Amino acid sequence: MQHSKTLDTIVGLFVAIAIAALFFLAMQVSNLGSFVGEEGYVIKARFENSGGLKVRSPVSMAGVTIGRVSAIYFDTETFESVVEMRIESQYDMLPDDTSASILTAGLLGEKYLGLEAGGSPDYLAEGSELDITQSALILEEIIGKFLFSKAEEGE
């Protein structure tokens, strides 16, 4: 079989497109596909346990991604996890009594931050802190509490 330069070029182009498509897919799956720049504003929320939440995890409201987690650190004074999130600037009318919960998406257990709007006429701004939060549910803790309560009933 004779190889031509045209055939080699077409095969090479096809392989390059396939590699680019795989790279794009990997970026989308790993939450690196959409880059949130310096646009928007940063707000904070405190949790007793931020179990499994990571930097760049999505922040969503009503099923729509409105931002990303920008930092997670431990507050040594209150012994809580502080989560900073950058909210896109187009979502600048979130009530200041908005609540935050750490939720699980899908079968793989990816954590994300879910926001639920309150009813306040005042809005969140740069540096605001959410007062109403719900920490991540830890399966081991739930099972431990269940087993402990069953052991107490048996006595």
Q: What is the pTM of this model?
A: 0.69
What separation in angstroms does the CA of 82 have from each of 7, 38, 44? Answer: 57, 20, 7
The pLDDT score that the predictor gives to residue 30 is 66
What separation in angstroms does the CA of 30 have from each of 56, 57, 69, 146? Answer: 9, 9, 14, 34
Instruction: Tell me whether residue 66 is in a domain.
Output: yes
Residue % of the chain over a pLDDT of 70 = 90
Whether 1 has a pLDDT exceeding 60, the answer reads no
The pLDDT score that the predictor gives to residue 145 is 80
Q: What are phi and psi of 43, to 5 degrees?
A: -125, 165
Instruction: Tell me whether residue 36 is in a domain.
Output: no
Provide the pLDDT confidence category of residue 36 given band limits of 50, 70 and 90: very low
Residue % of the chain over a pLDDT of 90 = 46
Position 20, amino acid: A
Both structure tokens of 86: 């950058």
Do 26 and 46 belong together in one domain?
no
Which range among 22-36, 70-84, 103-117, 125-139 shows the weakest confidence by mean pLDDT?
Answer: 22-36
Do 13 and 89 belong together in one domain?
no
Secondary structure of 29-69 in HEC code, one letter for each residue? HCCCCCCCCCCCEEEEEEECCCCCCCCCCEEEECCEEEEEE
Compute the distance between CA of residue 142 and CA of residue 155 in angstroms, rounded to an integer.
21
Instruction: Tell me whether residue 23 is in a domain.
Output: yes
Do 50 and 25 belong together in one domain?
no
Do 60 and 131 belong together in one domain?
yes
Give the residue numbers spanning the domain of 128: 41-144
∠ CA 87-92-96, rounded to 5°:
90
Q: How many structural domains are present in the chain? A: 2
Do 5 and 80 belong together in one domain?
no
Q: Considering the chain, what is the average pLDDT of its residues?
A: 85
pLDDT tens digits for range 41-72: 999 999 998 888 899 999 999 989 999 999 99
Instruction: Tell me whether residue 60 is in a domain.
Output: yes
**CA dihedral over 46, 49, 54, 58, signed as positive or negative:** negative
Do 81 and 133 belong together in one domain?
yes
Do 53 and 114 belong together in one domain?
yes
The pLDDT score that the predictor gives to residue 49 is 87
